[in-house]
Homo-oligomer: A and B are copies of this chain.
């Protein structure tokens, strides 16, 4: 049985993004320039040290993300926007974007295709499972989307990457999620990050 996984880099106060996100500052008040640099330093500054975690993140057969993670466009698709990641996004797989506004699939370089799903998280998960085949499905973020999936009991494995920065507020993991007993199945320290893997009981 394939799993539904979620990797999320969070601040020590549990935020995946700060308040005040804009196109120029996609991570908002993140204690830096809004680029999320501190949250993701472990991926970009010390990738070899974190190879195992990065490989797991990259191993999903399909991804699901919220509209805010995909981009800053709100309401209808009234201007061209193909994600934050340039021509060759790092997913290399189908990505299902939750939105209220229909849009045709958007193929990108490197095997990524953005599909736009207007009928909710259950439908997005069904489509992602089908697309992923024998591979896992990953809920990529942001925290609000992860919280929806957690509250619905749809995530099997939550892999947190806890970074030593306090945002002082923002989009917080577990906000609105009912009480849960998790199972800690892995935990590992690296430079400037603690990786913790939880199994989420169904």
Chain A residues within CB distance 8 Å of chain B:
12-14, 29, 31, 38, 160, 162, 164-168, 173-174, 177-184, 186-189, 191-194, 196, 198
- For A187, give its contact among B29, B31, B178, B189 (CB under 8 Å): B189
Cα separation A167 to B180 with both chains bound (whole Å): 7
Q: Are B168 and A177 in contact (CB under 8 A)?
A: yes
Cα separation A186 to B31 with both chains bound (whole Å): 22
**Chain B residues with CB below 8 A from A193, complex form:** 184
Cα separation A179 to B165 with both chains bound (whole Å): 8
**Chain B residues with CB below 8 A from A187, complex form:** 189, 194
Please give the count of copies of this chain that the complex contains. 2
Q: Are B196 and A162 in contact (CB under 8 A)?
A: yes
Cα separation A194 to B168 with both chains bound (whole Å): 22
Given A187-B189, A188-B189, A189-B187, A180:B198 Cβ within 8 A: no
- For A174, give its contact among B13, B173, B183 (CB under 8 Å): B13
